[in-house]
């Protein structure tokens, strides 16, 4: 039947051209972006899975960075304790030297001078921080490292408590003005030593037990005399600056040096325990990094198979769509031309 009111061939050619054009646009979008899924319409389920994997991959990459920071923290703490160990070993060496009867009091005083400086350095090491986080405390502490994409993925980097006060004593952190010192408490290393009363003692109201049962104030007549210090005595103390050490290991006498050996052995053992806890945590974090790196690699491969464009396939689809688009355009022209034959019937 010959008709001119409708042209089914042209409609079919138009539809074929539309489909070919859609396929051409899809292939070009995938080739230009490198992604198989450029919108939810391309693959709704695949898009959801791909986004979920992206969240996991991004979280794991950050977790790797977190774990590496945790390793750096552990290494910083261990480095500080390595130097503390060196200082403790040197103090112990000096204590063994001082305990020998072949040295004079002057020799021991010189040894104590070095010990005092090492005590200050140990006290400074105990203040070590990592990005503002205090690393050492007298009690156990745990620093939580986020090592995964989920809230529960955490590793607690444990640092056992470390108290060096038995070795270092109290290290002054500020400047104290000259004046009357506090009463000597039991155990103070100055108890039992001789003290020559000075004019400053009299001026500031120093009190000494002497031969009595309780401390009593001294007057100017006592200037130059010697007293043996006892618990409760108070004397003039010159201005002190940061770093002044009171208490702790004292090897200025043979007896003190001998007593210091046990204290130093305990301190070295404590440092070893803390370093062991840091080493264990560092080893675990290294394992976490290895595991996360493998997971990121595998998840990235899986995501690629879902969302990345296969260029060999898409270039084939592009060529096919171009040919179909050109053919549909040609057929549309032929369909529109086919009705011109009706004119001949009217001649």
Examine the domain organization and report whether 44 and 30 are in the same domain: no
Q: How many domains does the chain have?
A: 3
Structure tokens belonging to residue 261: 């050996």
- For residue 57, what pLDDT is reported? 93
Domain of residue 289, residue span: 39-170+246-308
pTM value is: 0.66
What is residue 145's three-state secondary structure?
strand
CB-based contact 278:143 (threshold 8 Å): no
Percent with pLDDT over 90 in the chain: 54
CA torsion 40→41→45→51, rounded to 10°? Answer: -20
CATH of the domain at 109: 1.20.1330.10
- For residue 19, what pLDDT is reported? 84
Examine the domain organization and report whether 130 and 252 are in the same domain: yes
Examine the domain organization and report whether 141 and 274 are in the same domain: yes
- For residue 131, what pLDDT is reported? 92
The answer, yes or no, to whether residue 86 has pLDDT greater than 80, is yes
pLDDT bracket for residue 81 (50, 70, 90): very high
Task: Please indicate, yes or no, if residue 313 is contained in any of the structural domains.
Answer: no
Alpha carbon 85 to chain centroid distance? 22
Task: Please indicate, yes or no, if residue 288 is contained in any of the structural domains.
Answer: yes
Structure tokens belonging to residue 196: 């020559």
Examine the domain organization and report whether 21 and 155 are in the same domain: no
- For residue 1, what pLDDT is reported? 62
Examine the domain organization and report whether 209 and 234 are in the same domain: yes
Structure tokens belonging to residue 310: 């296969």
pLDDT bracket for residue 347 (50, 70, 90): low
Task: Please indicate, yes or no, if residue 264 is contained in any of the structural domains.
Answer: yes
| pLDDT tens per residue across span 36-71 | 888 888 888 988 998 899 999 999 999 999 999 999
Examine the domain organization and report whether 185 and 297 are in the same domain: no
What is residue 133's three-state secondary structure?
strand
Examine the domain organization and report whether 52 and 159 are in the same domain: yes
Structure tokens belonging to residue 323: 């040919």
Examine the domain organization and report whether 335 and 234 are in the same domain: no
């Amino acid at each position: 039947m010959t008709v001119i009111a409708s042209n089914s061939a042209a409609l079919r050619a138009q539809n074929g051209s539309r489909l070919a054009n859609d396929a051409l646009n899809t292939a070009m979008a995938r080739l230009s972006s490198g992604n198989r899924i450029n919108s939810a319409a391309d693959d709704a389920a695949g898009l959801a899975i791909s986004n979920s994997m992206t969240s996991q991959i991004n979280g794991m990459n950050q977790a790797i960075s977190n774990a590496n920071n945790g390793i750096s923290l552990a290494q910083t703490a261990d480095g500080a304790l390595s130097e503390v160990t060196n200082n403790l070993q040197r103090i112990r060496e000096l204590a063994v030297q001082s305990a020998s009867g072949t040295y004079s009091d002057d020799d021991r005083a010189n040894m104590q001078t070095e010990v005092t400086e090492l005590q200050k350095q140990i006290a400074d090491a105990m203040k070590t921080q990592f990005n503002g986080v205090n690393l050492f405390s007298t009690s156990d502490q745990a620093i939580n490292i986020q090592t995964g994409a989920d809230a529960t993925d955490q590793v607690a980097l444990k640092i056992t408590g470390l108290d060096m006060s038995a070795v270092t004593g109290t290290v002054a952190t500020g400047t104290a003005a000259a004046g009357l010192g506090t009463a000597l408490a039991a155990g103070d290393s100055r108890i039992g030593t001789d003290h020559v009363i000075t004019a400053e003692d009299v001026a500031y109201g120093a009190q000494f037990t002497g031969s009595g049962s309780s401390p009593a104030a001294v007057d100017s007549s006592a200037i130059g005399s010697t007293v043996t210090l006892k618990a409760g005595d108070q004397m003039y103390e010159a201005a002190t600056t940061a770093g002044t050490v009171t208490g702790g290991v004292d090897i200025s006498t043979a007896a003190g040096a001998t007593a210091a050996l046990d204290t130093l052995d305990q301190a070295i053992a404590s440092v070893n325990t803390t370093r062991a806890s840091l080493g264990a945590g560092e080893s675990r974090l290294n394992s976490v990094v290895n595991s996360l790196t493998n997971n990121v690699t595998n998840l990235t491969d899986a995501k690629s198979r879902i969302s990345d464009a296969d260029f060999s396939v898409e270039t084939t689809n592009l060529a096919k769509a171009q040919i179909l688009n050109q053919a549909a355009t040609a057929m549309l022209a032929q369909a529109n031309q086919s009705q011109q034959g009706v004119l001949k019937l009217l001649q």
